[in-house]
Structures are given as C-alpha cells and as structure tokens.
Amino acid sequence: MDITLKVWRQTGPDDKGGLVTYDVPDISPDMSFLEMLDVLNERLNDEGKEPIAFDSDCREGICGMCGLMISGEAHGPERTTTCQLHMRSFADGDTITVEPWRADPFPVIKDLVVDRSAFDRIIQAGGFITVNTGAAPDAHATPVPKANAERAFVAAECIGCGACVAACPNASGMLFMGAKVTHLAELPQGQPERMSRVVSMVAQHDAEGFGGCTNIGECTAACPKEIPQDVISTLNRDLRSALRHQS
C-alpha cells in the first residue's frame, strides 16, 4: 500500500514548527504504525535528511510512550496504543496527518516528542502510600473486598500515556488523575493519605495548566486501557469531602 504522511516537524521547543509531506510507498498492511515511521526514517537517513523524532519504548502497548495524534485522533482510529495500531487500519492511498499531543502542559521537545513530566509531578504530589519498609506482608494479611479490589485493578491499568489529555477539548488530566486517586482510594493501604492526596494532586494538576473536566467523555473514548469515566466521580467526591473537612 502507498500512503501520504503529513508529519509535524519542529526542531525544538522554541521553533514554530509545521507539517511536512512525505510519500511512503510499498508499506505492508501488517506493519505497525511505528514500523512504518521506522521505514520512513531509514529512507530519510539514506537521503542525508533529519529523521522524524518520536517516542517509543516497549512497543507492546504497555508503557504508553508512543502516543501520537493520528488524523485528529489520539493513538489513531483504533482503541489501542499507537505501537499496536497497524497499517491495515488505513486504506491504500490514504493521507494521514501525524501530530504530537496538543496541550500546553505537554510542551513539544522535538517533532512528535512531548514532555509529559507534568504527570510525574502530579504523582509526586500525592500518588503514594505510607508503608513500613521490610519484608512483604502475606497476601491475605489485609483483607480487601472483591468489588473494591476489582475496581482498584481497573483504575490501576492507566499507563499515563496522555491520550485523555490530547483528546479532551479542555486538555484536562482528570481521567488520569481520577484513575490514580481511585486505585489507591479503593484499598485499605490508601486510606491514611486519602484526603490529603486528592487535594495535593488536584492543586498540582491545576498548577501545571491542565483544564477542568466538563464531562464530554472524549477522554474515556480515547483511552487505550478503557479507564471508566466514573473514576472522575470518585476524585470529585473525595475532593469535596477533603475540602469540607478543611473548612
């Protein structure tokens, strides 16, 4: 299959940047999207041109490093990570626009690479628990109701890729933050910091420049791990409770 790519090129954070068009012929439909970019980069290298910078790591849909906006959709037309998106999702002759995540808290480093350390700072603000160090306790030492455990596992599947932010018209990180708050709030180990956690994380979220949630739902629709939108309700409920106790 032959495709045309319009790729965002930007030499650095202070560069204006813009879309550059590339013809990419003879692509196998069984290639992943990143493998297709690898093929293009090999050609650019052979031509003595600067290859396209993009993030990737595991290439197994686990880490979320590969996030791209593909023809206006976070991670592309399938509900998966970019590295697990295959070229058979497109048609021969298609023109595909490839851009980095578009959000002020995710500044562009180069081309398709963005700085997502804002998420790290939100976690540092409160996404932890206080435990005694030493040997691991027995698995059954702290009973957890099955329903709570299952919801904690669902929320913990968030990989922090940033698709929720990229898809949200407000560039809100509430689904990411809601997942991190919920998976700890459902467990006994997360209770001591439950109120302080949510206040600190929301404060950091807002300080980073993320927008507020208006329940549009694009975040959940774009999430490759299908994090449910109700984690935001848990976040809001805990925040209201924490603020009420502070007043």
- On whether the CB atoms of residues 34 and 68 are closer than 8 A, the answer is no
Rounded Cα distance, 51 and 45, in Å: 6
- For residue range 28-52, list pLDDT tens digits in order: 999 999 999 999 999 999 999 999 9
Among 110, 143, 162, which residue terminates a domain?
Answer: 110
Residues with Cβ within 8 Å of 202's Cβ and at least 6 positions away in sequence, in order, are: 177, 235, 239
> How large is the average pLDDT for residues 214-224?
96
Q: Is the pLDDT of residue 139 over 90?
A: no
Q: What is the mean pLDDT of residues 156-184?
A: 97
98/178 same-domain check? no
CA 219, 221, 226, 227 torsion-angle sign: positive
| pLDDT at residue 40 in the model | 98
201 contact partners, CB below 8 Å, separation of at least 6 = 122, 123, 125, 126, 127, 177, 180, 181
Same domain, 223 and 147: yes
Helices (H) and strands (E) in the chain, counts: 8, 7
Contact 7, 98 (CB under 8 A): yes
DSSP characters over 137-168: PPTTSS---HHHHHHHHHHHT-----HHHHH-
Query: Are 120 and 242 members of one domain?
Result: yes
Domain boundary among 80, 110, 140: 110
Tell me how far apart the alpha carbons of residues 211 and 117 are, in angstroms, rounded to a whole number.
Answer: 16
Please indicate, yes or no, whether residues 216 and 152 belong to a single structural domain of this protein.
yes
**pTM of this structure:** 0.93
**Are residue 147 and residue 65 in the same domain, yes or no?**
no
Which CATH number characterizes residue 168's domain? 1.10.1060.10
Using one digit for the tens of pLDDT, what is the confidence trace for 55-74? 999 999 999 999 999 999 99
Dihedral angle sign, alpha carbons of residues 206, 212, 217, 221: negative
Q: 226 and 139, same structural domain?
A: yes
Do 122 and 91 belong together in one domain? no
- Among 110, 127, 155, the domain boundary falls at 110
pLDDT of 19 reads: 98
Instruction: Give pLDDT, residue 246.
Output: 80
At 71 the pLDDT is 98
What DSSP character marks residue 167?
H
Q: What is residue 53's DSSP assignment?
A: P
Give the pLDDT score at 70: 98
**Do residues 83 and 121 share a domain?**
no
Q: Residue 16 — very low, low, confident or very high, per pLDDT cuts 50/70/90?
A: very high
pLDDT > 70 fraction of the chain, expressed in percent and rounded: 100
What pLDDT is recorded for position 140?
Answer: 79
Same domain, 128 and 228: yes
CATH label of the domain that carries residue 42: 3.10.20.30
Average confidence (pLDDT) over 124-139: 84
Number of compact structural domains in the chain:
2
> Structure tokens of 5?
């790519």
Mean pLDDT of 80-97: 97
pLDDT class for 134, splitting at 50, 70, 90?
confident
Rounded mean pLDDT of the chain? 95
- Say if residue 247's pLDDT is above 80: no
Based on the fold, state whether residues 143 and 73 are members of the same structural domain.
no
* pLDDT beyond 80 at 95: yes
DSSP assignment letter at 135: S
Same domain membership, residue 28 and residue 142? no
Domain span at residue 70 reads 3-110
Per-residue pLDDT, 142 = 84
Is 122 found in the same domain as 241?
yes
